[in-house]
Amino acid sequence: MRVVATYNIKGGVGKTSAAVNLAYLSAREGHRTLLWDLDPQGAATFLFRVRPRVRGGVKALIRGRTPLDTVIKGTDFDNLDLLPADFSYRKMDLALDRAKRPTRRIAQLLKPLEAEYDILILDCPPSVSLVSEGVLRAADTLLVPLVPTTLSWRTFDQLTDFVAHAKPPRPRILAFFSMVDGRKRLHRDTVAQIAAERSNVTRAIVPAASIVEQMGPRRLPVVVFSPTSAAAAAYEQLWAEVRDLVEH
């Protein structure tokens, strides 16, 4: 099982939109896919029309009283399951802090699922925390959305440094540009500069498009309800690049 985590220290950068669309595209190709919505806000859970509730809450999960496979839900799509969010996830740091080897706990919880799934996507909350450290230990690839601004670039540098100083095993970092407005010179210049200087940035660029915002009222991935849109094409290309990375 390959584990991909969509993660950024900042919120509101298109992390959940990417996780939802990539999970669907993975499943559409026939990969047995699981999406774990780790964000207590539960946006990915909402988009897949699943109730945001885990029996026993985060304490039961972290302590092993509620095995992950007993709370996994099916979605409307073949090959795609969801481990839903729960509002108690806001206290996951506290639960991990009370566990033995807290930074390894998420990886330990996932281990029994290795035979059941080909691809696991973690939709992570925006933070630097014990949850973040646990994700770093569990993930093979950290997929980082970047809005093309100076502050976003600075955040990416902070994240790269954070991963470099984390205990091994460390995930590979793959960044992609998100919410890009091609009419803005700053966006165009930042995309060109970072792409020229960094080798771990995808060619796929997800545009700032109202069609992505329509995921909320439609409660569907963009690639399902608007498959010919520019945003859908960007997610298709992004998935192709992620798939090629995790398979090698």
Decide if 126 contacts 8 (C-beta within 8 A). yes
Could you tell me which residues come within 8 angstroms of residue 170 by beta carbon, excluding any fewer than 6 positions away? 136, 163, 164
User: Which residues in 30-45 are b (16+ Cβ under 10 Å) and which e?
Assistant: ebbbbbbbbbbbbbbb
Q: What are the residue ranges in the chain where pLDDT is below 70?
A: none
Query: What number of CA atoms fall less than 13 Å from residue 140's CA on the CB side?
Result: 16
Q: What confidence score (pLDDT) does residue 208 get? A: 94
Could you tell me which residues come within 8 angstroms of residue 196 by beta carbon, excluding any fewer than 6 positions away? none
Rg of the chain taking only CA atoms, in angstroms: 17
Q: What confidence score (pLDDT) does residue 166 get? A: 83
Q: Specify the number of domains making up the chain.
A: 1
Q: What confidence score (pLDDT) does residue 232 get? A: 98
Q: Which amino acid is at 191?
A: V
Name residue 34's beta-bridge partners: 81, 120
Q: What confidence score (pLDDT) does residue 204 get? A: 96
Q: What confidence score (pLDDT) does residue 196 get? A: 84
Decide if 198 contacts 49 (C-beta within 8 A). no
Note if the pTM is more than 0.85. yes
Strand 119-123 and strand 2-6: the pairing is parallel
CA–CA gap between residue 230 and residue 65 (Å, rounded): 44
56-107 per-position pLDDT tens digit: 999 999 999 999 999 999 999 999 999 999 999 999 999 999 988 889 999 9
Decide if 4 contacts 122 (C-beta within 8 A). yes
Give the Cβ contact number of residue 72 at 10 Å: 17
Q: Given its phi and psi angles, is residue 49 left (phi above 0), alpha (psi -120 to 50 degrees) or beta?
A: left
Alpha-helical segments (H) within 29-129: 43-47, 57-63, 92-97, 105-110
Q: What confidence score (pLDDT) does residue 193 get? A: 86
For residue 204, what is the domain's CATH number?
A: 3.40.50.300
Range of 189's domain?
2-246
Q: What is the largest CA-CA distance in the chain?
A: 53
Decide if 85 contacts 39 (C-beta within 8 A). yes
